[in-house]
Structure 1
Amino acid sequence: MKIDCIIIDDEKLARDLLLEFLEPFTEIEVVAECAKGKDAVAKIDELQPKLIFLDVQMPGMDGFDVLEAITHKPYVIFTTAYDQYAIQAFDKNAIDYILKPLDEERFKLAIKRATSRIRADKSNVEELIMSMKSTEDDSKYSSHLFVQKSEKLFNLEVKDIMHLEASGDYTVLTTKDDQYLSSSGIGKLEEKLNPDQFIRIHRSTIINLNYLKEIEKHFNGGLIVKMQNAKSFPVSRTYAKEIRKKVV
């Protein structure tokens, strides 16, 4: 993982020393150097580096002014001759605060902290993205359906549906306590149901695996599923393979 960075210091000798100290760290790439705070703001927002080395006291805008002015928010290692700004620096969520004259061993420690922090945050972001993707995938399946009973529409939780049966152009949805009628065909409803939970066993039947009690094999090789509410359904040959996938 390449970490691009910008060095910001009004002293050329200080910038050169940072470049020298950074040479062994091939994962860090210096993409710009700035001697003034105003230039630093423009470069940070233009190049959006992961990391910046930032001096505190500079003519015009100081280091804290730079952090206030930028839109992009990089990781920050302060490099300064003044120790009195350390608390303020860490309030800005700085990774480290190195005092001048720079010590190479102390610098190596700061780099180690920075790379560890950046990698950890990258990993957390990737996990978050994966979690969001998983949520997005799940969201394409309905958690609730509006179904009819008498002259009313009920908000039915999908997880409570034990099985669905086609009835002409309609579908009968059965829960532990009641039955409801949907004006949608069973094929249309199947698209709204999570296949990890609901499985089609016949062109006219879908069952909720959470309410499946047992599967019975017939002498002719056919299968019968028995639900927890004592209802039984034949499994057609077309869909039998889906049931057999669940057998371990």
Structure 2
Amino acid sequence: MKLFDCIIVDDDEMDRLVILSYAKRFSTLNIVGVFDSAEKALTFLSTNSIDVAFLDIEMNGASGLELRKKALEIPVCVFISSHSESAAETFELQTLDFIVKPFKFPRFEQMMKRLEEFMEVRTKSNLFESTLGGDTVFVKTGHDQIKVKLHEILYLEALKNYTILVTENKRHCVLSNLGEILLEEKFNSFLRVHRSYAVQKQYIQKISSQEIELNNGNFIPVGRSFKGNLDIIL
């Protein structure tokens, strides 16, 4: 996998060092700038392009949110902040992930798996083709088309402008967002339970207030604003 040029922007020196130390553990990250203010980062971005930005929110001067609004061309933005109440606002700015301070390395590692997967999908630019038959969709990869049976899809996972179709044995990445896919009549057996997830109703084994357990043992989080959708099942 190619190197991803990234910057770290945080006005707290200790937090910058923690993020930097975690980022250095991943060979795919090439740290090209570490800044203590949004203004310094914007000056750098005026003459440089990057792939990933790790941003704090509340900083002296301009906030991380203001920085992101002025730099939407950055493919991946990850907010790392103690202000968890701002999470919803960040996702309106094409945010890949939101990490709440303080955090440990496993949480950063989890984010990196998501980041690398997103970049891989973005590079492949797979296309979602229309259904040919009631229970079949096609995923286009390069010049090939892979047939996927709808009833074998356990759940759908959103990844910015892409969606992952997860089956028992494979994950198919398609260039279509989750909301668009769920508008398709053929996907009416899927129930949206989170901003980033929709599950196939027949595979739901157990429901709690915070997560859903599927027949295969996978756990899917339940978003607060989507709990009402579970009334269909209950």
Partner Cα distance (2:33, 2:53) in 1: 10
- In structure 2, the gaps of 5 or more residues are 128-139, 144-234
Aligned residue type for 2:5:
D
Question: 2:75 maps to which residue?
Answer: 74
In 2, the alpha carbon distance for the partners of 1:82 and 1:53 equals 15
* Cα separation, 2, equivalents of 1:83 and 1:50: 24
Counterpart residue number, 1:17: 18
In the alignment, which residue of structure 1 is the partner of 2:36?
35
TM-score normalised by the chain length of structure 1: 0.49
Q: Residues 68-107 of structure 1: matches in 2 within 5 Å?
A: 68-70=69-71, 72-107=73-108
Report which of the two structures shows the higher radius of gyration computed on alpha carbons: 1
Q: SS at 1:84's partner residue?
A: helix
Amino acid at match of 1:111: M
Judge conservation of contact 2:57–2:65 (CA < 8 Å) in 1.
Answer: yes
Taking a change above 3 Å as real, the CA distance of residues 28 and 101 of structure 1, as seen in their structure-2 partners, is same
Q: Does 1:44 align with 2:6?
A: no
The aligned counterpart of 1:114 is 115
- Verify the 8 A CA contact 2:69 2:93 in the aligned structure 1: no
Residue aligned with 2:78, SS: strand
SS in 2 for 1:86: helix
Return the alpha-carbon distance in structure 1 between the equivalents of residues 99 and 8 of structure 2. Answer: 14
**Conserved 8 A contact 1:7-1:34:** yes
Aligned residue number for residue 61 of structure 1: 62
Q: Partners in 2 of 1:71 and 1:89 — Cα distance?
A: 12
Could you tell me whether the CA contact under 8 Å between 1:45 and 1:72 is conserved in 2? no
Percent of pairs identical after alignment?
A: 22
Question: How far, CA to CA, are the matches of 1:75 and 1:30 in structure 2?
Answer: 14
**How far has the Cα of 1:122 moved from its partner?**
1.4
Q: Contact 1:44/1:72 (CA < 8 Å) preserved in 2?
A: no
Residue 101 of structure 1 aligns to a residue whose secondary structure is coil
SS of the residue aligned with 2:58? coil
State the 1:67 CA deviation: 1.4
| Residue aligning to 1:3 | 4
Structure 1 letter corresponding to 2:33: A
Q: Is the 8 A contact 1:9 1:35 kept in 2?
A: yes
User: How far 1:26 sits from its partner (Å)?
Assistant: 0.7
Q: Conserved in 2, the CA contact under 8 Å of 1:45 and 1:71?
A: no
What per-residue deviation string (whole Å, max 9, x for no partner) do you get for residues 39-77 of structure 1? Answer: 111223322110010000011100111112236333101
In structure 1, give the amino acid aligned to 2:52: L
Normalized against structure 2, the TM-score is what?
0.52
Cα distance change on mapping 1:12 and 1:68 into 2, 3 Å = same
For the 8 Å contact 2:52–2:74, the answer to whether it is kept is no
Q: Does structure 2 retain, via aligned residues, the 8 Å contact 1:45–1:70?
A: no
Once the two structures are superposed, the pairs formed by residues 173-184 of structure 1 within 5 Å of their partners are none
Equivalenced residues, count? 129
Q: Where does residue 123 of structure 1 map in the other structure?
A: 124
The verdict on how the C-alpha distance between 1:117 and 1:71 changes in structure 2, with shifts beyond 3 A counting, is closer
Alpha-carbon distance in structure 2 between the residues aligned to 1:50 and 1:72: 9
Q: Any stretches of 5+ residues in structure 1 without a counterpart?
A: 132-248
Q: Which amino acid aligns with 1:29?
A: N
Kindly provide the amino acid, as one letter, of the partner of residue 93 in structure 2: K
Is the partner of 1:88 in helix, strand or coil? helix
For 1:64 and 1:123, locate their aligned partners in 2 and report how far apart those are by CA, in whole Å.
29
